[in-house]
Amino acid sequence: MLEPKGNGEDAKRIVKLVNKYHLQKRVLFESFSDSALSKLARLAPEIPRTQLAGSYKAIRRSQDFAASFYTSDADNYLCDKNKKYMLWGVNSSKQMYKFLNPDKGVTGLLTDFPIRLAKILQENNHFRIHYQSIIFPTEKLAANLKLKNGNQVQADQVKLVNNQLWYHVQPNMWVSEKNLFHHESSAPRAQVGLVKVDKATPVWTDLSFKKSAGKTLRAHSHWNYFAIAKYHGKRVYNLGGNQWIR
């Protein structure tokens, strides 16, 4: 969620960056300012906009309304207008469970604890992690795989589709993760979780850790990971795309 400040003086620059990096389907706009929202509607009408606070009856050209409180009046009004209702500051498990109730017309929760919320949503079948087909790494993956039928193959690419890894073993042939004996393979495996780095940690684009991604994670920071692999007997983590850390 991107929030232009003031009256949207930076809206044009923000939209330019969103277009430059092809993020139109990956962002939402939000603002307390009706002037900023009007500028965004003109500059990027295809990107959803959220009015922060104020009167839910004055939502105008925005698709969403967000507030720090819930009222049935706002719920009913926004539902009738086919608008979405989001709440921010939903940080306790009790609050999260409360707004999973289908009688509450809340369509989005903004929280400082996304992993806590994701677990609750998964437990209640409200949420499943879905990924687009992502190939990583695109080079220098050399993993000897043993299939359940006993055959040995070598993979040079891996992609994640609907939470399952597929390995490229020869032209136009992909082998599913479920066909492998993982304990005999150093290839990446699909796995999601949270990792904390205790010191400044460089990010690499390949599993041989020779090509730098050009960034370093700060000490004592937390990161979601999406796959794990082994390098020289030690576990390494994929942070999405071609991003690996020891």
* Cβ contacts of 85 within 8 Å, gap of 6 or more: 56, 64, 65, 66, 74, 75, 78, 79, 105, 106, 107, 108
The rounded distance, in Å, linking the Cα atoms of 48 and 2 is: 11
Residue 133 has a pLDDT of 43
Q: What is the CATH number of the domain that holds 54?
A: 3.20.20.190
Residue 131 has a pLDDT of 39
61 falls within a domain = yes
149 and 83 within one domain: no
Residue that finishes a domain, picked among 103, 123, 143:
123
The model scores a pTM over 0.75: no
209 and 107 within one domain: no
166 and 116 within one domain: no
CB 236 within 8 A of CB 207: yes
220: left (phi over 0), alpha (psi -120 to 50) or beta: left
From the list 180, 164, 169, 168, the residue with the least C-alpha distance to 226 is 164
229 falls within a domain = yes
Total domains in the chain come to 2
Residue 142 has a pLDDT of 60
68 and 25 within one domain: yes
162 falls within a domain = yes
Residue 126 has a pLDDT of 62
From the list 41, 50, 118, the residue with the least C-alpha distance to 88 is 50
180 falls within a domain = yes
Residue 15 has a pLDDT of 94
81 and 183 within one domain: no
18 and 88 within one domain: yes
94 falls within a domain = yes
Domain range for 193: 134-245
Residue 127 has a pLDDT of 53
Q: From first to last of the 246 residues of the chain, give the pLDDT tens digit.
A: 999 888 888 999 999 999 988 888 889 999 998 889 999 999 999 999 999 988 888 887 788 999 998 998 999 898 888 889 999 999 999 999 888 876 678 888 999 988 888 788 777 766 554 434 444 444 445 667 777 777 777 777 777 676 677 788 776 678 877 777 754 456 677 777 889 999 999 999 888 888 898 899 999 998 888 888 888 888 899 887 778 999
Residue 114 has a pLDDT of 83
Residue 204 has a pLDDT of 92
185 and 110 within one domain: no
